[in-house]
Amino acid sequence: MTLWPDHLFLVGCGNMAGQMLSRWLTCGLDPARVTVLRPSGKAVADGVTVMTDYPAALPAGATVLLGMKPYQISDVAEALAPLCAADTRIVSILAGTLLADLRARFPQVRDIVRAMPNLPVGLGEGATALFTDSRTAPQAREAVDTLICPLGLAEWVADEALFNQVTALSGCGPAFVFRFIDALAQAGEALGIPADQAARMALATVQGSATMAARAGDSPGQLADRVASPGGMTREGLNVLDADDRLFRLLIDTLTAARDRGEAMGRGE
């Protein structure tokens, strides 16, 4: 059973924060416990309070989710920090924003956790990387873990220096997988399969394969080799992907580019 925060205050409710909130509400979070700050004033969900400006105060023991754009942190912190108390808990999903920076901007807050979810959290099948330091109380860390678990896999990262690498893999990963599905479908179309049929088959193939990999005792690499009979069609295709480690090298380049952008964002670039 999830122990929900007494009050959840979301600063921003875009794609990622919106997916997280949607899942929490589906899993039983009382919308009366939720306030969303968004300049547009656009409704979020039935029962959720939406504000266009900061409240006069935050409820005692509130959990704050920083879900706006990372470049907005200075303005947000200037307005939000005076409202925070020692018992306020902050969870930040801001890419490239270091814990030390958050602590400098919210000096009175003891419990601060960085989190990097990915879009499937809205289905309860996401992956969220988490990091904090020794200043955050163990019970606060446990509370955040409990809050994140309904979203899917929760992975605590021991070294913040790896956070951009993890973000590149799991945070950005769904977009890379979406691109692969699209490319697989387009390749099928190029071979003569009708476009709509190729799209459906590519999606079903990736979906079924991911489910099989999640349930199997073998690694995905072992599963690939098991499927590929010597001299068969699958083996011939794998030989192309495996030649000179081309797929491996492409993905290293992809993750490296994403990681480097995260580090640049951390430098304010």
Q: What is the per-residue pLDDT for 268? A: 77
Superfamily of domain 173-265, CATH level 4: ProC C-terminal domain-like (1.10.3730.10)
CB atoms closer than 10 angstroms to residue 265: 16
Largest alpha-carbon pair distance within the chain? 71
* CB 114 within 8 Å of CB 132: yes
At 105-140, the pLDDT tens digits run: 999 999 999 999 999 999 999 999 999 999 999 999
For the chain, domain boundaries? 8-165, 173-265
Which residues in the chain belong to E strands, given as ranges? 8-11, 34-37, 49-51, 63-66, 89-92, 111-116, 126-131, 152-156
What is the C-alpha to C-alpha distance for residues 164 and 260, in angstroms, rounded to an integer?
8
**Type of residue found at 143:** A
The rounded average pLDDT for each run of 10 residues, N- to C-terminus, in the chain (269 residues) is 86 93 96 94 93 93 95 95 95 93 96 96 96 95 95 95 93 96 97 97 96 93 91 94 95 95 83
How many angstroms separate the first and last alpha carbons of the chain?
A: 42
Q: What is the per-residue pLDDT for 2? A: 67
**Type of residue found at 266:** G
CATH class of 8-165: alpha beta
Q: Residue 125 is encoded by which pair of tokens?
A: 């099948």
Closest CA to 63 of 121, 129, 11: 11
> Identical fold at 8-165 and 173-265?
no
DSSP letter assigned to residue 120: G
* CB 190 within 8 Å of CB 168: no
**φ, ψ at 194 (rounded to 5°):** -55, 140
